[in-house]
Chain A
């Protein structure tokens, strides 16, 4: 049985809007095991991104507990959060968030620079990651010369190059056409199988559904339904 790597207990997140609390997440209880390929599905404002941000230690819960890789997110300081993300969590964003002045190679290499890999190791890992996503021939291009699909592949390569335990993808196919979306999802599925990386998506894209092993439907900050294949 796979090891549990994320455990959310009574997790809540509220914001103060015009003096009144607004709950993005209400007492959510969830756990994720190693190697999952899970989608958090729901309409806009249902709390999907907030959930991913808390798991990724970019945000902290207002109530309850979020234990990620045996670390309580609420008790981490900025440096500890950064360390957790640096070594164990990869992010893929809806709008790719590539660093515009760097080439494809440098964007992917960036994650490794933070981990003090040697130049030779970095080169090997970056080329390997680019090969995974099929962009080895685009390594010298700048992001503005890439299509949406290619940009998202670079973002995936950047996220997987450090071989994180968890990969969080926030609406990764939202800005892509159907063909690119399927291609990206296939790539992610392949990485999930071969590297054993835990994938957690937030999505409301129908195309994503068929690839998911587990689907969690969120509505107004609550888990409405959960299905497993």
Chain B
């Protein structure tokens, strides 16, 4: 295609101007892909961790229990229904611990020692000879200043409302990225919790495994994995919208540079335009030539961006993007490193977005050529 070949020649001939435009545009490419891939990576990682550590294949909740309302813990439990399969019961109870004499309200989660629904290391409870062995997460350990082997005084009310107290032994501190199973919580054997509270054979909710097929159970409501993960999806989407402002600004600057170059080109190259028309090129082809020239910036930017972008993407995919500890306290799963996820949809979507938008901003000023008087253009007069 003649216009394509001529455009490449013109761009290569313009040297510094071409380089500056494609440099700015390549930054947009790299930043858009990087920011989105980090968000996608976080999203995928948060969902994976949440499923593995908390949600399983979904939760079957007591109809009176609302995980977001701590007042519902008191009445939000009931007898484990008969003939249930592929469900792991969890009993949630409120208590107070006194680490180093400090009072701290916590939530006790009773979980079967032999469960495999989530990654809480409950097998360690079976293997430990302590009377009340307990597991805590790294956040809980940090906030309560508790270490493995520490004995902590715990006080709770039993089913009759009577206060009782004992000592639990912290036998392990697990490292999970999911704060909702960690901060302010203690995990212990369900049998122990039944014994402590008197709520024998009762549960607050169940964690479903992959084989679970839900059928309606009176007094219990099922929330699928997808429903539970919606919180993360919504949060990531909200974050993505905020980041979109950054790359829209970046892309805007790059497109403005192309637009500016095109406008300037059409003014500066009027003689050239007039000559092309005099040599027999139709105005339509001249418009096409200038439009292709502008949109080719995006193509060259893609190549140029690949030179420094691909090693950067590869490095981050291998090493991960470090997340400051403060950022990890956002309330959903976030690890110390986020590993970006480079999806085909993201890459092709970004390439298409930049190419289409640069073509549009190239075409807008180039339209002026179709109305140009070739005689004045040959003289280089402003039109």
Chain A interface residues (CB < 8 Å from chain B):
53, 56, 58-59, 78-79, 82-83, 85-87, 89, 91, 93, 95, 97, 99-102, 106, 110-111, 113-115, 158
CB < 8 Å: which of B14, B278, B283 contacts A101? B14
**By the criterion CB–CB under 8 Å, are B282 and A82 in contact?**
yes
Which of B274, B283, B378 has most A Cβ within 10 Å? B378
Residues of A within 8 A of B281 (CB): 82, 86, 114
**By the criterion CB–CB under 8 Å, are A56 and B278 in contact?**
yes
Grouping DSSP codes into helix (H, G, I), strand (E, B) and loop, the B interface class, with mixed when no group exceeds half, is helix
Residues of A within 8 A of B284 (CB): 78-79
Q: A102-B9, A106-B9, A114-B2 are in contact. Are A97 and B378 (CB under 8 A)?
A: yes
**By the criterion CB–CB under 8 Å, are B375 and A113 in contact?**
no
Q: A58-B378, A113-B2 are in contact. Are A99 and B282 (CB under 8 A)?
A: no
Which of A83, A95, A101 has most B Cβ within 10 Å? A101
**By the criterion CB–CB under 8 Å, are B10 and A97 in contact?**
no
Task: Please tell me if B280 contacts chain A, counting CB pairs below 8 Å.
Answer: yes
Of residues 1 through 22 on chain B, the ones whose CB sits less than 8 Å from some CB of chain A are 2, 9-10, 12-14
Residues of B within 8 A of A59 (CB): 373-375
A79 to B287, CA, bound (A): 13
CB < 8 Å: which of A79, A87, A93, A95 contacts B282? A79
Closest chain-B Cβ to A65's Cβ sits at a distance in Å of: 19
**By the criterion CB–CB under 8 Å, are A58 and B275 in contact?**
no
Task: Please tell me if B277 contacts chain A, counting CB pairs below 8 Å.
Answer: yes
A58 to B272, CA, bound (A): 14
Which of B278, B283, B378 has most A Cβ within 10 Å? B278
Task: Please tell me if B221 contacts chain A, counting CB pairs below 8 Å.
Answer: no
Interchain Cβ contacts under 8 Å between A and B, 7 examples: A82-B282, A85-B277, A86-B280, A95-B271, A97-B271, A111-B279, A115-B280
Which residue of A is nearest B279, CB measured? A111
Interchain pairs with CB closer than 8 A, number:
64
A93 to B9, CA, bound (A): 23
How many residues from B make CB contacts under 8 Å with A? Answer: 22
- Going nearest first, the 6 A-B pairs with the smallest beta carbon separation are A86-B280, A101-B13, A82-B282, A97-B275, A85-B280, A91-B278
A106 to B271, CA, bound (A): 18
**By the criterion CB–CB under 8 Å, are B279 and A78 in contact?**
no
Which residue of B is nearest A111, CB measured? B279
Residues of A within 8 A of B10 (CB): 101
**By the criterion CB–CB under 8 Å, are B279 and A86 in contact?**
yes
CB < 8 Å: which of B13, B272, B279 contacts A85? B279
Chain B interface residues (CB < 8 Å from chain A):
2, 9-10, 12-14, 271-272, 274-275, 277-284, 373-375, 378
CB < 8 Å: which of A53, A83, A91, A100 contacts B279? A91
Closest chain-B Cβ to A129's Cβ sits at a distance in Å of: 14
A106 to B8, CA, bound (A): 13
**By the criterion CB–CB under 8 Å, are A58 and B375 in contact?**
yes
Residues of A within 8 A of B271 (CB): 95, 97
Residues of B within 8 A of A93 (CB): 275, 278, 378
Which residue of A is nearest B13, CB measured? A101
Closest chain-A Cβ to B353's Cβ sits at a distance in Å of: 30
A83 to B281, CA, bound (A): 8
Closest chain-B Cβ to A222's Cβ sits at a distance in Å of: 21
Which residue of B is nearest A115, CB measured? B280
Which residue of A is nearest B11, CB measured? A101
Which residue of B is nearest A99, CB measured? B272
Closest chain-A Cβ to B288's Cβ sits at a distance in Å of: 13
CB < 8 Å: which of B9, B12, B13, B278 contacts A58? B278
Closest chain-A Cβ to B230's Cβ sits at a distance in Å of: 56
A89 to B272, CA, bound (A): 18
Closest chain-B Cβ to A67's Cβ sits at a distance in Å of: 19
Closest chain-A Cβ to B11's Cβ sits at a distance in Å of: 9
Which residue of A is nearest B379, CB measured? A49
Q: A58-B378, A59-B375, A97-B271 are in contact. Are A110 and B279 (CB under 8 A)?
A: yes
Closest chain-A Cβ to B243's Cβ sits at a distance in Å of: 39
Which residue of B is nearest A103, CB measured? B9
**By the criterion CB–CB under 8 Å, are A78 and B282 in contact?**
yes
Which residue of B is nearest A88, CB measured? B280
**By the criterion CB–CB under 8 Å, are B9 and A101 in contact?**
yes
Residues of B within 8 A of A89 (CB): 280
A43 to B283, CA, bound (A): 32
Closest chain-B Cβ to A154's Cβ sits at a distance in Å of: 12
A82 to B275, CA, bound (A): 12
Residues of B within 8 A of A56 (CB): 278
A86 to B90, CA, bound (A): 84
CB < 8 Å: which of A58, A110, A158 contacts B277? A58
CB < 8 Å: which of B2, B13, B283, B375 contacts A100? B13
**By the criterion CB–CB under 8 Å, are A114 and B9 in contact?**
no
A82 to B274, CA, bound (A): 12
Q: A85-B278, A97-B275 are in contact. Are A78 and B283 (CB under 8 A)?
A: yes
Other contacts beyond A58-B277, A95-B271: 6, CB < 8 A: A82-B277, A82-B283, A83-B280, A86-B280, A101-B10, A102-B9
A101 to B12, CA, bound (A): 8
A113 to B280, CA, bound (A): 10
CB < 8 Å: which of B12, B275, B277, B280 contacts A99? B275
Residues of B within 8 A of A113 (CB): 2
Closest chain-B Cβ to A130's Cβ sits at a distance in Å of: 17
Closest chain-B Cβ to A174's Cβ sits at a distance in Å of: 14
